[in-house]
Chain A
Amino acid sequence: MAEYIIKNGHVFDPLQGIKGDKADVAIKDGKIVKDNEVSSKAKTIDAKGKTVMAGAVEIHAHIAGPKVNVGRIYRPEDKLFTYTPKKGNIRMAGGFSIPTTFKTGYEYAKMGYTTAMEAAMPPLFSRHVHEEIRDTPIIDEGAFPVFGNNWFVMEYLKNNEIENTAAYCAWLLRATKGYAIKLVNPGGTEAWAWGLNCLSVNDPVPYFDITPAEIIKGLIEANEYLGLPHSIHIHPNNLGNPGNFTTTLDTLKLAEGYKTKNKFGRDQVMHLTHTQFHSYGGENWGNFESKSKEIMDYVNKSKNITIDTGNVTLDETTTMTADGPFEHHLTELNHLKWANVDVELETAAGVVPYIYSPDIKVCAIQWAIGLELALMAKDASRCFITTDHPNAGPFTRYPRVIKWLMSAKAREAQIKAFKNSDKVIAATHIAGMDREISLYELAQMTRAGPAKSLGLSGMCGGLKPGMDADVVVYDFSPDKPVANPDQIEAAFSRAAHVFKSGVEVVTNGEVVNNGNKRTIWVNAKVKENPQVMRDIQEKFLKYYSVSQANYESLGHHIIPNPYAIEVDAMQ
């Protein structure tokens, strides 16, 4: 493999505490090495006056699988004016909020992202998710199967059977080649199968007679029993409703007293995702307001929690979530086309297009809340930037979000541009905030932080010798003052160089190589558990519509390049 040495760049690597010092980064055999370990044949990349970081890590995006594809199928309009033709080995690619798989890989790579997690995999559809992941070039990907409305989980946890829950989780992760335990509107999505919902952590789930709080606590315990790389990853109840911040606080408080137990360097026991959608005050859309402060006060003092933001980007997009009742609520609100899929024994999903208009007060307040969360974070390594792609906006807008976070001037301009800017200012904290995220903090929020939260900090999100050579050079000089904030957006949109596992995949903002992407999954070994195996067999015999033998995601044609992270929970 080619060797590289990236010289004289300003390196930002929170993992090693490097804060913009001039340093060289050397690459050999797909790994980062000390600069004296490369031969004289190493190709030199001149990064003088440029910013060098590890490849960014996406912790939460909906980029592969059945609901993403429903979005593609039912929104031909999303492709208008977006297509780029085939060029050499680079496939044609199109779509805006729900890009084709090829475009997904290419766009992430161009921005310097090299690892991404698909945030909600319905277990029954795991093959579909993996087929799309296979066709998404360059980036390493994992997928989180959803557990929060799973019949096995609810039945075991009703009797507080943590060991059985853990054994089942390990089995499902293996069967679906999944990465982590995801919860979406725990209990509420099962209730949706009857057209109902659970709007607080104490609403009982119909028939199963368990509460969301019990499901969440039980899955935290099962997760830590197994010692998985990532913590539970939760989309709590009551998403998107005015006044929902109390439900969010109730959810966060469930993590109190839990300590993590894992070998992957992870500190948190709960990751709260797209927090913006869960930080709302007011009783209705009229007096809707930001409660980012209340949420961040709690998060800042709780070391065992990480969050991501879910920034609204003010675009027309496509919302999609396993929170089935929420999407029904949304279609009743905006009257745009509604797709729904209820999945036997496991989950559901809904899809509705949405237009975040800067002329609508609520949308502008949502925009402010997302930014406030990041700007109020005391520890940038526990608060990550996402757009919950495509729910709050497409991931391709990350550079714009970064611009807003790094420049108070850019925020001010946007606030002024809102049609209802006075009302927006009154309902939020954004106008008074002058914090500007530094490049070091940015690297914490997009590299070191998410990698650590995912339990991958030995592999990616940093530039320590021995780690995968995922390296990005941005044409952005930390020395020079930024005259126009749009320079920030431009620099982070198209990286000067991107290396994925030592292969140069992007040069001057253009994709030059399809890379050698991997599918990352977690293989947790547990003690033999005949009861769980018998229960699984019984459910397949009686209630599933496929046979157990046809459930597992297996084989080169589905997952050509798997990378298993081994977890030993045998003791």
Chain B
Amino acid sequence: MTKTVTDVVCPFCGTLCDDLEVVVSDDGKQLTEVYNACVIGTEKFLHSQAKDRVTRPRLRQEDGSWKEITYDEAAEYTAQMLANAKKPLMYGWSSTNCEAQSMGHEIAEMVGACVDNTAAVCHGTTLIAVQDIGIPSCTLGEIKNRADRILFWGCNPAHAHPRHMSRYSIYPRGFFTGKGQKSRKMIVVDPRVTDTAKLADVHLQVEQGRDYELLNAFRVALNNEWLPEVVAGIPAEKIREAADLCKSGRFGIIFFGMGVTQTLSKNHNIDEAIALTKHLNEFTKFSIMPMRGHYNVTGSGEVLAWQFGFPYSVDLTRGFARYNPGDTSTIDLLARGEADAFFTIASDPGAHFPISCVKQIAKLPSVCIDPHQTPTSGISKLHVPVAFAGVEVGGNAYRMDNVPIDMRKVVDPPAGMLTDEEFLTKVRDRVKQLKRAG
């Protein structure tokens, strides 16, 4: 016999779908099928069942081989590393629950670490823009119920957030959008003809790296002022049409992704996109929302903010919290060789950081807490596999629109495995002892 767990929350992307159904064996030890999830989400659940999964901490030996150690030994190593370092970096946090983040922050406070999440290479620029100009936004249900103008700018939800369009933005029939897709106009701004762009009513194939100009041209068009014949590769006429389309809607939204946050101009792009949104509110109702990637990167920013006052790149080394991206951000600290220990949890900098920074990590005492074997675990001195958050343990997570959803445990982790929070609690308790002794 099997049983089906309903209303399961998907711990993959920032869409944080919460309508999954997962079939598990009667003893709750095996997960057999996943319904309603996209292909990536399904894989995440099924991957927890992998037969070759690492289930015990492993310490890298002199000869490069791994030696299995106990969680207590791993906690000792981690605590010693953090307590002895002058400027440890504690990076990641985006694919675990808020409880683990909270526990990690307690450790960071005790050892005086720099705490950073994956926004550092993702929507950190968005946060900087928000600190400049604010952000008019809404929850995803508002889009579903009201929005008739949808812009995807520099993002490709068809691949990166596969259920976004069907659950919230394009297809659903909401309260004031009873005709679903037919009640909406979709504009995509992307230099590539992506699968998302193929679905659009209007595709503005912006010249690469010229988003700022185009955003600015939209604002000029809103005011019916003069425009050059072509801006950012788009004819003025087309820009005016698109701007009028936005203006004529009842409720519009701009979703944006890495295409604008991590290309030329970075936070300035977002600044202008938010200014455009604010401007559109003089004519109709408009919102803007970053397409957050990791399912709980938003949560990491929230927890950091209420505990320390800043959403990422928080430096606690001086005994109080500082925030100065470029100075206190992980990539920069690694690039300048300032860090003397590297702690990764629930993310994979080894796969995403510049190679010079990855090399720097490889030189340092390092711990990687991750249920998977990743490029980061590969270059770390200690790999601590843990239970899959959102599959083998619940806990709170924040969707891309900041809505908190409590995840569900659907199966037991392999016998004897700890969760992120449990392991961090051991580390915290040990650090406390070390600090008291010191």
Contact = CB atoms under 8 A, between A and B. Distances in A.
B321 interface: yes
A263 interface: no
B363 interface: no
B251 A194 contact: yes
Contact of B319 (A73, A92, A102, A544): A92
A163 interface: no
A344 B144 contact: yes
Contact of A76 (B134, B145, B301, B309): B309
Contacts of A549: 6-7
B110 to A, nearest CB: 8
A539 to B, nearest CB: 9
A74 to B, nearest CB: 5
B287 A340 contact: yes
B130 A74 contact: yes
B347 to A, nearest CB: 20
Interface string B301-332: 11101111111000010011101000000000
Interface in B176-200: 176
A73 B314 CA distance: 12
Interface of A: 64, 66, 68-69, 72-76, 78-79, 83-86, 91-92, 94-95, 98-102, 124-125, 127-128, 131-132, 135, 193-195, 207, 328, 331, 336-345, 348, 351-352, 542-547, 549-550, 554-555, 557-558
Contacts of A84: 320
A193 B311 contact: no
A94 B109 contact: no
B409 to A, nearest CB: 12
B138 interface: yes
Interface of B: 6-7, 9, 18-19, 98-99, 102, 109-110, 127, 130-142, 144-146, 167-168, 174-176, 250-251, 278, 281, 284-285, 287, 301-303, 305-311, 316, 319-321, 323, 395-396, 398, 402-406
B109 A328 contact: no
A543 B144 contact: yes
Nearest to B138: A342
A94 B321 contact: yes
A92 B285 CA distance: 40
A366 B167 CA distance: 46
B131 A74 contact: yes
B141 A543 contact: yes
B305 A69 contact: yes
A344 to B, nearest CB: 3
Contacts of B281: 195, 328
B142 A337 contact: no
B138 A128 contact: no
The 10 closest A-B pairs by CB, nearest first: A344-B141, A337-B134, A83-B320, A545-B141, A342-B138, A85-B319, A549-B7, A340-B136, A127-B404, A338-B134
Nearest to A65: B306
Contacts of B140: 344, 545
Nearest to A352: B134
B321 A79 contact: yes
Given A341-B402, A546-B18, 10 more contacts: A68-B306, A74-B130, A79-B309, A124-B403, A131-B303, A339-B134, A344-B141, A351-B134, A543-B144, A558-B396
A308 B109 CA distance: 38
Nearest to B127: A73
A135 B251 contact: no
Contact of B142 (A73, A342, A558): A342
A118 to B, nearest CB: 12
Contact of B302 (A128, A194, A328, A542): A128
19 contacts: A64-B306, A69-B302, A73-B131, A74-B131, A76-B131, A78-B309, A86-B110, A98-B309, A127-B406, A131-B396, A339-B134, A341-B139, A343-B138, A543-B174, A545-B141, A545-B167, A547-B7, A550-B18, A554-B406
Contacts of B323: 76, 79
Given A328-B281, A342-B142, A550-B7, A555 B402 contact: no
